């Protein structure tokens, strides 16, 4: 009985460690893709837009896309960013703020 409990504990600990490592890697990838949005390489910018398009709308991403659209020299990438921005703005409009939750 003790051996099976030890094995189960070790399995849970291993799964938690793998989950923590995966979270760190995913966070690093998100930061890298946001940084690559302003890369001098067109394909990196396109890949960054693809990654950002899968994210949920946030104020930071909306502002980032607005900056990108004003900075980007290529029309194709500006148009792609505009489509993503429009989706995020529509998604953000659908969000409601509960005034009871924000009052202190």
Q: Record the pTM.
A: 0.63
Give 8-60 pLDDT, tens digit per residue.
Answer: 888 988 988 888 888 787 777 666 666 789 999 999 999 999 989 998 999 99
Say if 101 falls within a structural domain: no
CATH number at residue 30: 1.20.930
> Is the residue at 9 inside a domain?
yes
Could you tell me if residue 67 is inside a domain?
Answer: yes
Task: Identify whether 27 is part of a domain.
Answer: yes
Gap between the Cα atoms of 100 and 66, Å rounded: 31
Is residue 52, in this structure, part of any structural domain at all?
Answer: yes
Predicted pLDDT of residue 96: 67
Cα 27 off chain centre by = 8
Is 44 contained in some domain?
yes
pLDDT digits (tens, 9 = 90+) for 46-90: 999 998 999 899 999 999 999 999 999 999 999 999 999 999 999
Domain encompassing residue 49: 2-95
Distance in Å from the first CA to the final CA of the chain: 52
* Residue 79 forms part of a structural domain: yes
Report the domain count for the chain. 1
pLDDT in the model for residue 64: 93
């Amino acid at each position: 009985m003790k051996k099976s409990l030890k094995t189960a504990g070790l399995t849970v600990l291993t799964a938690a460690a793998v989950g923590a490592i995966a979270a760190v890697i995913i966070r690093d990838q998100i930061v890298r893709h946001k940084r690559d949005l302003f890369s001098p390489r067109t394909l990196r910018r396109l890949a960054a837009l693809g990654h950002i398009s899968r994210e949920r709308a946030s104020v930071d991403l909306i502002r980032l896309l607005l900056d990108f659209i004003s900075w980007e020299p290529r029309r194709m990438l500006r148009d792609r960013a505009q489509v993503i921005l429009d989706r995020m703005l529509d998604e953000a409009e659908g969000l409601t703020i509960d005034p009871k939750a924000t009052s202190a």
